[in-house]
Structure 1
Amino acid sequence: MATEELNKPPSIPPYPQMIMEALDALKQTEGANKSAISKYMESKYGEMPAGHADLLSHHLNRMKDSGELLFIKNNYVKPGPDAPQKRGRGRPPKPKEPLPAGAIAAAPRPRGRPRKDPNAPPAPKKPKPPAGPPSISKTGRPRGRPRKVNPQPVQNEVEA
């Protein structure tokens, strides 16, 4: 993508500038579609670089995502001065209440768990449980699933 932009003739301005010029010159109330913008650019600047359609699509999408252009009914339009700001992704932040007069703002707390105090006395050690077989707990049963028991073969003898 970047190499195509470097190979364009020096007489052609950057794509965002050409797109804005095209929208100003076309002066359509409902905006202009991609083909109308492309035709205007070709008529004004003559031969366009290789991959012009891809470059135009890329810049139109980027300008649409950044809020420089609006995409309404398959047409690109400049946002008006009273247009609402485009909101970013995620939940918007809560509105902050102003501090009362004379109050000093506290420093924000750092994220994450607070560091240990190096001057604090060491914490007491936990008492160890009474010694016993390691696999048997207080209930007297070993931990985990019980072992399989081999079944005894049943002998069917007929008594006479």
Structure 2
Amino acid sequence: MSEQRPQYGEIATPEEQRRAAGLPPLSELPPVETAVALPAADAATDAPRRAHPVDRFVTIGLLAYGLVNVVVTGLQYLDLPSVMNQVLSVLGASGEFTNFAQGRLWGTIASVVLVAGWALTATLSIRRLRRRKLTWWLPLVGAVVTLGIAAVCISIPMMGDPAFVAYMQGGTGS
């Protein structure tokens, strides 16, 4: 007696599918305990990440504060000679900032650094927020790195100014 195979359009049982593929029947297979654990592990990794509403609020707040700071500070850096004169007066140096050409150039560069640093920080933060990863720390790190680079840009014309150099050498300026 020959076994009937499913006709076109009929659904074959799992046993019939295994037999047609030349595999042993399911009843002959040894029990496998790890096969049960694997789907559960896959389900855990496929689960959506937990949202962090406080992290999102803090990250957006820090980015907004950073944007205000970038606008205000960047505008001041565009007129760096005036800012340097204020710094000298706060330090108690009697001289005036005279390194105008470098002050304008490096002030502009520092402003561009601030804007570019904030834009990069905001872009990376938004990407992390969309992936639902903790992000609050990224605006802080971005601010430290960006302000460090801007400080180097500002120190170049400051160290080239005779009044500031005289103050640093223990004098009161020229």
Alignment TM class, shorter chain as reference: under 0.3
Q: Which has the higher contact order (CA 8 A, sep 6+)?
A: 2
Higher helix share: 2
TM-score, normalising length: structure 1:
0.21
